[in-house]
Amino acid sequence: MSSDFSVVAIIAARNEADVIEHVVADLIDQGIRVYFLDDSSTDGTAAIVGRHLGHGVVGIERLSDTIKDTVPAAFEWERILLRKAQLAAELDADWLIHHDADEFRESPWPHLSLRDAIRRVDALGFNAIDFTSLDFWPVDDRFRAGDDVRKALTFYSVRAPYDCLQIRCWKKTDDPVDLASSGGHDARFQGRSIFPLRFLLRHYPIRGQAHGERKVFEERQRRFLDRERARGWHVQYDEVRPGASFIRDASTLTSYDPDAVRLALTLRHRGVEELEEALGAARSEVATLCRQLDVTAEGLRVRSQELAVRDQELAARGQELAARDRELAVRGQEIKRRDHQLAQTRRELDAHIAEVATLRGEIERRAHDVDELRRGLDVRLVEINDWRQSFEERTRLLDECHRSLSWRWTAPARAAYRILKGW
């Protein structure tokens, strides 16, 4: 194996002697070098890793020597992550992996080792890798320390949502990497470009009843710091109570099929998920636009009804004016008849000149009233014409909206929305 491309996995562990041999050996077999941080193990974990020192293991350190001013017997995860980030900048490696002691990482391509798969990602121009993590659980209590846990535990579940993000492999850069702010789930650095296809992570947190009781109630829960729990860390065992069974029902889990898992990784990669999220956002936007169009259409319908009422009012006023015109016409005919009578009885009119003068004054006042009524009628006719033009313009806009492509294209969405709303 050529040494021109190197990957180092940084592992921190406390009392993982039952699986650490297989974890470290698997990494070395896949061309990955290991730097080991021992968190005060008392079961010989560090000694097991030490067998590979100089043969794939490039260094072993005790966290108690490098992390000073720690809380006695506490599980200071943030301090460990900060130390890993420091080592990532110091170690001689092309790529780094933030690795746990109870997990196995694999390439999505069965014919490539983990190192060769990372090298392929590097050649494609990406500098970070995400993992799909599967939690394997015991369905019986037959696992023994030193067994290959991958053969003993073959049923898994997908990780909880708070553990789904697993960007824990990255190319070494000049910029510092941030592991602590995400609790170790997301290696963040400038210029990050994540490979769309996820790699596989097989996680074995609990290996049996006795192991679960010791790990959860003796080695973990009492060691978690309040300040870290306040950040939402270490919540995976919150629902576990003393006396609980750590042996799962196989019917609630999935039997591991590596080919099926790798096919799923290929079919549903990060790019597909991003497209689905974009599609969901687009659908939501279309639904919002449809609701806005429905509101606009309803507003136009109400406005049309208001205009129809106004037209009816104007028509009624027009009829009133027409009746007044007919009344004036009748009065005009009456005046004509009276003028005729006056012509015939002019001699009599001369005797009653004062009465005629009074009648003429009345006629002039009535004529003035007629002029005022006619001017009012002209103003009303202009208002009617303006209302009709406005109504015709709104009707034309509504017709253009109904004839538009966007209206027809969104017709199925509006129909679906009305069906969902029960309209």
Sheet holding 155-158, edge to edge: 103-106, 199-203, 131-137, 155-158, 254-255
Parallel, antiparallel or unpaired: strands 131-137 and 199-203: parallel
Which residues does 148 contact at the CB level (< 8 Å), separation at least 6? 22
Q: Please give the pLDDT value at position 209.
A: 92
Which residues does 219 contact at the CB level (< 8 Å), separation at least 6? 14, 15
- 93's tokens: 């490696």
- 284's tokens: 């939501």
Q: Please give the pLDDT value at position 369.
A: 83
Q: 213-238 burial by CB neighbour count: b if 16+ within 10 A, else e? A: bebbbebbeebbbeebeeeebbeebe
Q: Give which of 192, 187, 191, 171 is closest to 98, Cα–Cα.
A: 187
Per-residue pLDDT of the chain (423 residues; tens, 9 = 90+): 446 899 999 999 999 999 999 999 999 999 999 999 999 899 999 999 999 999 999 999 998 887 655 544 555 788 899 999 999 999 999 999 999 999 999 999 999 999 999 999 999 999 999 999 999 999 999 999 999 999 999 999 987 654 568 899 999 999 999 999 988 899 999 999 999 999 999 999 999 999 988 888 877 655 444 554 455 554 556 567 788 899 999 999 999 999 999 998 888 766 656 665 666 676 777 677 778 877 877 888 888 888 888 889 988 988 998 888 898 888 888 888 888 888 888 887 676 778 768 878 888 888 888 888 888 888 888 888 888 888 888 888 888 887 787 778 888 888 888 888 876
Q: Give which of 101, 134, 96 is closest to 118, Cα–Cα.
A: 96
Q: Please give the pLDDT value at position 263.
A: 92
Are 92 and 126 within 8 A, CB to CB? no
Within 10 angstroms of residue 182's Cβ, the number of other Cβ atoms is: 16
User: Within its chain, how far is the Cα of 306 from the centroid?
Assistant: 42
Q: Please give the pLDDT value at position 72.
A: 47
Which of helix, strand or coil describes residue 199? strand
269 vs 265: CA distance, rounded Å: 6
